[in-house]
């Protein structure tokens, strides 16, 4: 790890370390801001003592980050066009990083202070979009090119639909439990359990399900939200020291050859489907020398891009043998070809079998660009896990008592947690960032409606207001900070 930062100017090194500290601070805050939701029901229902619930939640968050992969991380990274990350100078890279992190941390701390279950996912995504849009305005780039809008739409849909699904599914699960065991003690609140049964804890099986589902939520939260932190750190590293991190310098010769083979097979794939793709890709019309001096990702330039990439990788057995400029160039080509392949996969006319082949080629193309060093994963896991162990009380009270007009029953807690664990787990499989906060709190609200308990209008309005305001507020804040920072760095 240390050798990756050797040779940097002192001020760049200090700025880089400060930026990494900011990211880990964001993940620490995320731990006690979002993970409180994972233990809210298990603490409120007294299924586990608070200190044990928080400790084990921290452990499962840690494990979730370590085992979660990097799919969600690069969904975050690809919100911004790669040109912004590798073409800006170091000063602008630092401005970008500190602006989005300062905006995200400020909003997270503010909503946590007031006990509002706001979303760290919305916060982070809004901050990244704000920087991208501000950069486009400052650089006279069309707004359509300042952000990867297709990726933003995909992520936006997952963030909007997942709470709705959480509300509906949790309500249905509770209705199913009431139909299955209408007289069960699981339909009591902790207060009713204490008064009627003179018992402090839930019935054994209900308690076991509450504990297991809470740890499940913690694990998938660690995987999903931890990857956002990994993505942030990779944004920092690629933006400030691109020569060391645009490609995985630890890639084996086999992995590099696999990337080169995937490029060659991609060319063969396009030729095989020339009748369907010829016009979209301008197949046979471009020459190898047709790449513009200022490279831009254009499907019409696919053949020259493939030729240039194959030429750049010819005889390469170790990425370290490439010059820093060549590494940046190779990454550009790889990401451009991947982006074009994704668009091709959505075109009508391709057979299902061909689309499956294209997806496999895309994975091979990005195998050495979509990565994270182990030290990055470990640092994020530690920050999130430790953050989980503090600051949970404010949000627990909101989730347990302030969403519904009555306290939460054991069955409601189980329904909301099982739904949240499954929903976030599915999002991880499809590499989509979702909000643990919104999925769980909407699940609780769904069970309150299904239980005919009613909702507390004030709390629901506050949560919805935070949900609506988070994106525009963080977009505006990060954009303003980035504009001011670019003025400072010149």
What string of DSSP letters covers 4-25? GGTT--HHHHHHHHHHHHHHHH
| Greatest Cα pair distance in the chain | 82
Q: What percent of the chain has pLDDT over 70?
A: 87
Look at residue 488 in the predicted model and tell me its pLDDT. 75
Tell me: the pLDDT tens digits for 375-410?
Answer: 999 999 999 888 877 755 655 555 544 554 567 889
Of 302, 336, 365, which one is at a domain's C-terminal end? 365
Q: Are residues 48 and 82 in the same domain?
A: yes
Instruction: Indicate whether 131 and 195 sit together in one domain.
Output: yes
Same domain for 95 and 219, yes or no, is: yes
Backbone CA torsion sign across 110, 111, 113, 114: positive
The beta strand positions in 293-393, using DSSP E, are none
In the predicted structure, residue 117 carries a pLDDT above the cut 70: no
- Domain final position from 324, 343, 365: 365
Q: With cut-offs at 50, 70 and 90, classify the pLDDT of residue 462.
A: confident
The pTM for the full model equals 0.84
The torsion defined by the Cα of 38, 39, 44 and 46, in degrees rounded to 10, comes to 140
Judge contact between 164 and 194, C-beta under 8 A. no
Residue 406 pLDDT: 65
Q: Determine contact, residues 125/165, Cβ cutoff 8 Å.
A: no
Residue 22 covered by a domain = yes
426 and 410 co-located in one domain: yes
484 with 355, same domain? no
The per-residue b/e assignment along 421-442, b for 16 or more CB within 10 angstroms, e otherwise, is bbbbeebbeebbbbbbbbbbbb
Query: Is residue 125 domain-resident?
Result: yes
Question: What is the average pLDDT across 289-310?
Answer: 79
Statement to judge: residues 241 and 108 lie in one domain: yes
Mean per-residue pLDDT of the chain: 84
Q: Which two tokens stand for residue 469?
A: 């305001």
Number of domains comprising the chain: 2
Comparing 146-150, 198-202, 359-363, 429-433, the range with the smallest average pLDDT is 146-150
Picking from 344, 333, 390, the residue whose alpha carbon sits closest to that of residue 366 is 333
Look up residue 113 and give its two tokens: 């202070």
The whole-number pLDDT of residue 401 equals: 47
Which is more confident, 394 or 439?
A: 439
Same domain, 360 and 382: no
Q: What would the pLDDT profile of 52-108 be if each residue is shown by its tens digit? A: 888 888 899 899 999 988 888 888 887 876 566 555 556 676 788 788 888 988 888
Whether 231 and 86 share a structural domain: yes
* Same domain as 291, residue 361: yes
Residue ending a domain, among 365, 384, 408, is: 365
Lowest mean pLDDT among 29-33, 170-174, 471-475: 29-33
* 31-47 pLDDT per residue, tens: 776 666 777 788 878 88
Same domain, 50 and 66: yes
**2 in a structural domain:** no
Q: Are residues 322 and 418 in the same domain?
A: no
Q: What's the domain range around 272?
A: 253-365
Let me know whether 327 and 426 are in one domain. no
Predicted confidence at residue 290, as pLDDT, reads: 60
């Amino acid at each position: 790890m240390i050798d990756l930062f050797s040779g940097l100017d002192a001020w760049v090194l200090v700025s880089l370390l400060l930026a990494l500290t900011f990211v880990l601070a964001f993940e620490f805050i995320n731990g006690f801001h979002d993970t409180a939701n994972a233990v809210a029901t298990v603490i409120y229902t007294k299924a586990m003592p608070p200190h044990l619930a928080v400790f084990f939640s921290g452990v499962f968050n840690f494990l979730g980050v370590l085992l979660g992969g990097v799919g969600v991380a690069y969904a975050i990274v690809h919100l911004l066009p790669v040109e912004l990350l590798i073409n800006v100078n170091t000063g602008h890279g630092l401005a970008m990083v500190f602006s989005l992190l300062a905006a995200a941390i400020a909003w997270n701390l503010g909503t946590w202070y007031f006990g509002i279950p706001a979303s760290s996912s919305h916060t982070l995504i809004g901050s990244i979009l704000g920087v991208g849009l501000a950069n486009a305005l400052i650089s006279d780039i069309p707004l359509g090119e300042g952000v990867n809008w297709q990726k933003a739409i995909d992520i936006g849909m997952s963030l909007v639909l997942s709470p709705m699904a959480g509300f509906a599914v949790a309500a249905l699960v509770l209705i199913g439990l009431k139909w299955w065991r209408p007289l069960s003690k699981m339909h009591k609140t902790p207060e009713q359990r204490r008064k009627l049964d003179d018992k402090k804890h839930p019935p054994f099986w209900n308690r076991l399900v509450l504990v297991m589902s809470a740890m499940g939520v913690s694990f998938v939260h660690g995987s999903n939200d931890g990857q956002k932190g990994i993505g942030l750190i990779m944004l920092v590293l690629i933006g400030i020291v691109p020569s060391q991190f645009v490609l995985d310098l630890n890639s084996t010769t086999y992995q590099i050859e696999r990337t080169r083979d995937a490029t060659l097979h991609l060319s063969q794939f396009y030729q095989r489907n020339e009748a369907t793709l010829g016009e979209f890709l301008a197949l046979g019309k471009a020459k190898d020398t047709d790449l513009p001096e200022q490279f831009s990702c254009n499907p019409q330039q696919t053949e020259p891009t493939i030729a240039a990439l194959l030429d750049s990788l010819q005889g390469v057995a170790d990425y370290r043998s490439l010059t820093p400029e060549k590494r940046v160039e190779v990454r550009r080509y790889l990401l451009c070809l991947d982006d074009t392949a994704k668009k091709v996969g959505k075109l009508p006319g391709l057979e299902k079998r061909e689309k499956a082949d294209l997806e496999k080629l895309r994975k091979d193309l990005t195998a050495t660009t979509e990565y994270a060093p182990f030290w990055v994963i470990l640092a994020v896991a530690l920050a999130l896990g430790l953050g989980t162990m503090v600051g949970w009380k404010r949000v627990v009270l909101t989730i347990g008592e302030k969403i519904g007009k009555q306290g939460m029953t054991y069955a409601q807690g189980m329904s909301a947690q099982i739904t949240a664990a499954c929903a976030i787990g599915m999002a991880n499989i499809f590499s989509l960032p979702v909000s643990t906060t919104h999925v769980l709190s909407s699940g609780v609200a769904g069970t309150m409606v299904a239980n005919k308990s009613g909702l507390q209008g004030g709390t629901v309005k506050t949560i919805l207001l935070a949900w609506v305001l988070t994106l525009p507020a963080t977009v505006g804040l990060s954009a303003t900070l980035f504009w001011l920072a670019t003025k400072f760095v010149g």
